[in-house]
């Protein structure tokens, strides 16, 4: 989250967004920490995974600093740190695209996701994050729009954290859809909070979630077209990832 919020913004509204943003960051950190503790990931992973992790955590640190500085009234530092978001957003998207490609080519991606869903819908979600986050920066002087659009953008990033906390093999063949639908819960909480407090839902929610939900639906439709299959096969061609099935599956001998 970045830059200046007007002084007229109610303190309780600012606290609400601080809690929500920190809660989403906590979900992400918890998911990756749980995966490491369970031995599902390790520091011996290839270098792109480490680069992705460092960039991801740097964004979470920036997010935490931004909500804490604006809640604490340090607007100058909030505005200065906010400029970093202009750099971090494209770096986040690039790192995400890198790790999707590397994951697909090395293992075919997580076995509980269909390869075409993981590539097409995951890429679309990254672009939604980048687009909404950048839009949020451009309307930073309109705090109602700024903070809501950034919250929707941040909710997209909770998918990897949630996916590491859920029993994903049990959700096959709907693991990807279930994970994405759960990410919608965070903006939904914001919409309900608006309705209870103001008797209406701020239009930023409708725009942000309209784009988020619409792109997700379109990406899933595209993933299951000949174009989606062909794109997935072209990305994995000539790599170990090409050997695994296109659809989600349980590896032989797998046990929870």
pLDDT tens for 122-133 read 999 999 999 999
pTM: 0.91
Two structure tokens written together for 69: 């500085």
pLDDT tens for 149-197 read 999 999 999 999 999 999 999 999 999 999 999 999 999 999 999 999 9
pLDDT tens for 60-112 read 999 999 999 998 988 899 888 889 999 999 999 999 999 999 999 999 999 99
Q: Are 30 and 161 in contact (CB under 8 A)?
A: yes
Predicted pLDDT at 44: 66
pLDDT tens for 211-236 read 999 999 999 999 999 999 999 999 99
Instruction: List alpha helices for 75-225, DSSP H.
Output: 75-107, 115-116, 122-138, 143-156, 158-165, 175-183, 185-198, 203-223
> Does the structure show a pLDDT above 60 at 5?
no
Predicted pLDDT at 6: 41
| 159 alpha carbon, distance to own chain's centre | 5
> Does the structure show a pLDDT above 50 at 11?
yes
What's the maximum distance between 2 C-alpha atoms anywhere in the chain? Answer: 60
> Does the structure show a pLDDT above 80 at 37?
no
> Does the structure show a pLDDT above 70 at 10?
no
- Name the band, by pLDDT with cuts 50, 70 and 90, for residue 254: confident
């Amino acid at each position: 989250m970045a830059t200046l919020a007007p002084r007229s913004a109610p303190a309780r509204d600012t606290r609400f967004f601080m809690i929500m943003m920190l809660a989403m960051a906590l979900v992400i950190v918890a998911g990756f920490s749980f995966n490491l503790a369970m031995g599902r990931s390790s520091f011996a992973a290839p270098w792109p995974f480490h680069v992705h992790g460092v960039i991801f955590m740097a964004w979470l640190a920036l997010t935490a600093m931004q909500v804490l500085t604006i809640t604490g009234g340090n607007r100058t530092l909030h505005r200065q740190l906010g400029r970093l978001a202009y750099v971090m957003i494209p770096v986040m998207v690039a790192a995400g695209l890198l790790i999707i490609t590397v994951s697909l080519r090395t293992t075919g991606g997580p076995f509980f996701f269909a390869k075409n869903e993981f590539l097409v819908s995951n890429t679309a979600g990254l672009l939604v994050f980048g687009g909404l986050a950048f839009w949020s920066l451009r309307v930073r002087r309109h705090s109602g729009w700024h903070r809501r659009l950034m919250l929707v953008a941040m909710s997209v990033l909770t998918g990897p954290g949630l996916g590491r906390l859920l029993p994903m093999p049990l959700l096959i063949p709907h693991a990807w859809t279930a994970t994405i639908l759960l990410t919608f819960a965070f903006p939904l909480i914001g919409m309900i909070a608006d309705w209870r407090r103001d008797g209406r839902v701020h239009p930023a929610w409708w725009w942000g979630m309209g784009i988020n939900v619409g792109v997700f639906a379109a990406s899933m439709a595209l993933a299951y077209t000949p174009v989606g299959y062909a794109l997935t096969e072209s990305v994995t061609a000539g790599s170990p990832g090409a050997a695994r099935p296109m659809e989600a599956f349980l590896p032989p001998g797998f046990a929870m």
